[in-house]
Amino acid sequence: MSDTALAFESIAGLSGRIGEGRLSPVKVAEQLLGRIDALDKRLHAFIRVMPEQALAQARAAEIALKCGASLGILHGIPYAAKDLFDVKGLPTTAGTHLLANNIAGQDATVVRKLAAAGMVLLGKTHTVQFAYGAAGINHDHGTPHNPWHPIPHAPGGSSSGSAVAVAAGLVPFALGTDTGGSVRVPAALCGIVGLKTTIGRVSRAGVYPLCWTLDSVGPITRSVEDAALVYQAMQGTDSQDESTAGVASHDTLRGLKDGVKGLRIAFGETTFFDDVDSEVEKAVREAGKVFSSQGAQLASIAVPEVAAAWAEKNRGLLIPAEACAVNRELLDKHFAELDPVIGPRMLTGRTLSAPDYFALLRRYAELREQVRWTLRDVDALIVPTTMAPARPLAAIDASAETYVDYNMRVHRNTGIGNILNLCAVSVPCGFTSEGLPIGLMIYAKPFQEDMALRVAYAYEQATEWHTRHPPLRSPLPPGERG
């Protein structure tokens, strides 16, 4: 199997070859580590690669298989983890040099679950500082390079390195977190798949927090089936994360390939399509025709809770308020050393009073209950993942105003889903005239990840967008990495 073919093979494909003995976990790990070594000087996806640890895990996986002790479909499959996830003995830096000595005493729950499934961790990926930013820019550790363009473009954030690593064929899957779109935005801008889970589905224990009210954990992959496979292993209750209490695991694989015939799929017309780039809107509208051709009942509906959530006057202060609580010491003692964009934005959280904070949480709880009623007769909403595709980093970073504007354009549609606690999948649905990916977002009601994945799988299988890979070129000249 050629290096390129292996790099872009699905988890299911790799697993089949490994299970049949035609491919060894060690060979897979070695080839992908070699690809990381060859390409990541340009891509800057990884903050830390762990070849010795990865190869030791791969050898252990291979020995277990030879002894007939397979752990399942993920056995021997490599992956990467965003540098918010604790890995025992390694620093969790959350995108800042100030946490270089923040050594994890144990694995995050989800890392432990993936190890129990036999997966092989190749390394940790870059993130926006404190995971606070949708464009994907990090002025401290550096910004990963979106592989779809030779000139540095936004990779999307905050799971920037994870998305770049998956899109470029460095790993088949990477862990991400999503507080306002941090799984779905980079998946959309990098032309791959991102699953935003309902809070309570996947434990956040051992994950550096941004905003506990909105934080979720999800997979970034190159196919919907791969997302379903790893999500199946990630979900479940955990005593270290109270949000998972009483949330039973569910089977997302059984109905994954049932199609959309008879399902009620609707364009969400309130706010989601306002001011969207014309090429993005056209691609998403065309996706509706795909669902109609497959027998879905296609409609358009207004979702007033969407506009209400976005219009809430203190909406923009919830994340920085909770982030200030998490990072209080760094803000107080090392403010001048923080990313010059992130620090000031985060500090605005201190302007939110306790009564206003409580009122905002109660308002969000009301909207979450109301949207369940609004969507009672709908199986899934389809909307643009982002309002715009990737833009050049230089243009985004030209001023505070251009940064804030672009950040809003890529996270508005996703952030609304976090407020309403919907689950969602972003899948590629086309390319702009410049060859940049466009994302289609499929929203489902809370705790219906199986439905979101089922609808996404049906679309993916009826189109060819997911089969395209970025035209990786020679390394950029010095100083152009971003």
Q: Could you list the active site residues? A: 82, 158, 182
Q: Residue 300 to residues 124, 272, 434: CA-CA distances in angstroms?
A: 41, 12, 29
Question: Tokens representing 357?
Answer: 């904070």
> What three-state secondary structure class fits 318?
helix
Long-range contacts of 249-252 (CB under 8 A, 24+ apart): 250/447, 250/449, 250/450, 251/450, 252/228, 252/449, 252/450, 252/453
Closest CA to 174 of 220, 225, 216, 217: 220
Contact 20, 183 (CB under 8 A): no
Contact 167, 439 (CB under 8 A): no
Q: Is the dihedral of CA 223, 224, 225, 226 positive or negative?
A: positive
Contact 364, 419 (CB under 8 A): yes
- How far apart CA 217 and CA 183 sit, in angstroms, is 8
- How far apart CA 150 and CA 145 sit, in angstroms, is 9
Question: Tokens representing 232?
Answer: 């199946």
